[in-house]
Amino acid sequence: EPEVTQTPSHQVTQMGQEVILRCVPISNHLYFYWYRQILGQKVEFLVSFYNNEISEKSEIFDDQFSVERPDGSNFTLKIRSTKLEDSAMYFCASSEARATQYFGPGTRLLVL
Amino acid sequence: AQSVTQLGSHVSVSEGALVLLRCNYSSSVPPYLFWYVQYPNQGLQLLLKYTTGATLVKGINGFEAEFKKSETSFHLTKPSAHMSDAAEYFCAVRGNFGNEKLTFGTGTRLTIIP
């Protein structure tokens, strides 16, 4: 069964450093999403992406964040200058139109 | 705009007992509703979903949920709990257009008592 994959599974970085989180969505899906879950809290929407542009973003997704689909398979989330409060589990998801979002296993980011 | 309220951040049931996890939603458009399960240190796995049609939906692992528009509810049930059901359960809602985001509830941690 096709699945969303994410790399790395864990990332530790120093405050102020740039990180790139990678996702490979399900191959025939057209819509892509990033969510995050701070430890002990609910899953929060960050951004959705369709047709090579951002469709919607939350107030969390400020200028420090960016997304890109650099080729036909990868979908990345970049945090330019990480803060302590960026420590969280980051989930990538993908979907066909008007359908279920399938989530990857997540990348646990720890900012020291 | 959508929102989800999950009553009870922690629920404990005995093995073999009924599982009932509550979810109420608010949506300005006809909703799509979902239950996801998260096992420790893992990602989100879809349990079941309601989009249109039959209001009682069945999912994996013996779970089911009923969409009740009049009560704006989508409670998750399982007749007989199993130890392997111990996990965190998230209810989520989205609108019925294209690529709308999911809005999650705060989650319910289910503990199974042997």
Mean pLDDT of successive 10-residue stretches along chain A, which has 112 residues: 90 97 93 93 92 91 94 92 96 85 94 97
* Rounded-to-integer distance, Cα B94 and Cα A63, Å: 26
Q: Kindly determine whether residue A43 and residue B43, on different chains, have CB atoms separated by under 8 Å.
A: no
* Rounded-to-integer distance, Cα B22 and Cα A96, Å: 28
Of B43, B99, B103, the CB nearest to A105: B43
Q: Span B8-34, mean pLDDT? A: 93
Q: Kindly determine whether residue B107 and residue A42, on different chains, have CB atoms separated by under 8 Å.
A: yes
In this structure, what token pair is assigned to residue B66?
Answer: 């009923």
In this prediction, residue B99 has a pLDDT band, given cuts at 50, 70 and 90, of low
Side chain identity at residue B81, one-letter code: A
Q: What mean pLDDT value characterizes chain B?
A: 92
Residue B83 carries which DSSP code? Answer: G
pLDDT tens digits, B29-84:
788 999 999 998 788 999 999 988 889 999 999 999 999 999 999 999 999 999 99
The upper half-sphere exposure of residue B39, i.e. CA atoms within 13 Å in the direction of its Cβ, equals 8
* Rounded-to-integer distance, Cα A12 and Cα A4, Å: 22
* Rounded-to-integer distance, Cα A55 and Cα A13, Å: 29
Those of residues 29-88 in B touching chain A at CB distance below 8 A are 34, 36, 42-46, 49
> Distance from B71 to chain A by nearest Cα, in Å?
23
Burial B57-77 (b: 16+ CB within 10 A, else e): bebeeebbbebeeeeebbbbe
Q: Kindly determine whether residue B43 and residue A31, on different chains, have CB atoms separated by under 8 Å.
A: no
In this prediction, residue B98 has a pLDDT band, given cuts at 50, 70 and 90, of low
Q: Kindly determine whether residue B99 and residue A56, on different chains, have CB atoms separated by under 8 Å.
A: yes
> Distance from B51 to chain A by nearest Cα, in Å?
9
- Of B36, B1, B52, whose CA–CA distance to A101 is shortest? B36
pLDDT value of residue B91: 97
B61-to-B79, B81, B87 alpha-carbon distances in Å: 11, 10, 13
pLDDT value of residue A72: 77
Rounded to 5, what percent of chain B is helix, strand, coil?
A: 10, 55, 40
User: Which residues of chain B does A90 touch, with a Cβ-Cβ cutoff of 8 Å?
Assistant: none
| DSSP-based three-state secondary structure for B90 | strand
Q: Kindly determine whether residue A45 and residue B101, on different chains, have CB atoms separated by under 8 Å.
A: yes
User: Which residues of chain A does B34 touch, with a Cβ-Cβ cutoff of 8 Å?
Assistant: 100
State whether residue B107 sits within 8 Å of chain A by CB. Answer: yes
> Distance from B50 to chain A by nearest Cα, in Å?
10
pLDDT value of residue B28: 79
Burial of A84 by CB count in 10 Å (0-12 exposed, 13-18 middle, 19+ buried)? exposed
pLDDT value of residue A98: 62
- Of A73, A58, A67, whose CA–CA distance to A21 is shortest? A67
